[in-house]
Amino acid sequence: MLNNDRIAAFFLHRQERVQKQPGLRGHLVVVLLTFLMFCGAAAQSFYPATDPARYQCYASTFWLGSNAVKQLPQVQCAFLQITHVQTPFHMLPKEYPPFTLLPFSLPLLIPFVNYQIIFSLFMSLTILLIYWLLLRFGPHGSASASILYMVLGACAIAPMRYDLLPATATLLCLIAASRQRWTLAYLALAVGVLLKIYPILLLPALFISEQQTKKRLLAPATTSLKKLPRELWQALQGMFRWSWRNTLFFFISLIAVTGLFALSDFNNAVVSQFSYFLKRPVQIESLNATYIWLAHLGGANWKIAYDFGSINIHTPLNNNTSPIFTFLLIIGVIYTLWLQWQQRCSLPQAAVALLLLFVTTGKVFSPQYLIWLIPLLAFAGCYTRLWTYLWGAVSLLTTFIYVFFYSQLLDPNHITIPIGFFETAAIRNILLAYLTLAYLFDWHQMRTATTVHNIQERL
Residue of 453, 440, 438, 403 lying closest to 43 (CA atoms): 403
- What is the C-alpha to C-alpha distance for residues 103 and 114, in angstroms, rounded to an integer? 16
Side chain identity at residue 285, one-letter code: E
Of the candidates 122, 195, 115, 119, the one whose C-alpha atom is nearest the C-alpha of residue 163 is 195
Dihedral sign for Cα 366, 414, 325, 435, please.
negative
Contact by Cβ (8 Å): 393, 295 = no
278: CB partners within 8 A, 6+ apart: none
**Is the torsion defined by CA of 6, 9, 15, 20 positive or negative?**
negative
Q: Mention every residue, 6+ apart, whose C-beta is less than 8 A from residue 397.
A: 424, 425, 427, 428, 431
Determine what percent of the chain falls in helix, strand and coil, rounding each to the nearest 5: 65, 5, 30
pTM: predicted TM-score of the whole model, two decimal places: 0.94
Amino acid sitting at position 170: T
Query: Within 13 Å of residue 120, how many CA atoms lie on the same side as its CB?
Result: 27
Whole-number pLDDT of residue 40: 93
Task: Report the C-alpha gap between 376 and 164 in whole angstroms.
Answer: 12
Q: Across-strand partners of 307? A: 310
Distance CA 124, CA 143 (A): 15
pLDDT, position 1: 45
- Cα→Cα distances 356→95, 109, 339, Å: 22, 37, 15
Residues 6+ apart with CB under 8 A from 439: 352, 353, 356, 446, 447
Number of H helices, E strands in the chain: 19, 3
Alpha carbon distance 289, 277 (integer Å):
16
Taking a C-beta distance cutoff of 8 angstroms, is the pair 336, 354 a contact?
A: yes
Encode the chain (459 residues) as per-residue pLDDT tens digits. 445 678 888 888 888 887 777 767 778 999 999 999 999 999 988 888 899 999 999 999 999 999 999 999 988 999 898 888 899 998 999 889 999 999 999 999 988 679 999 999 999 999 999 999 999 999 989 999 999 999 999 999 999 999 999 999 999 999 999 999 999 999 999 999 999 999 999 999 999 999 999 999 988 877 777 777 888 888 888 888 999 999 999 999 999 999 999 998 888 888 877 888 888 899 999 999 999 999 999 999 999 999 888 899 999 999 899 999 999 999 999 999 999 999 999 999 999 999 999 999 999 999 999 999 999 999 999 999 999 999 999 999 999 999 999 888 877 778 889 999 999 999 999 999 999 999 999 999 999 887 444 444 333
Closest CA to 354 of 202, 173, 211, 167: 202
Cβ-proximal residues to 286 (8 Å cutoff; 6+ apart), any chain: 362, 363, 364, 365, 429
Residue spans per domain, the chain: 2-445
Confidence at residue 184, expressed as pLDDT on a 0 to 100 scale: 98
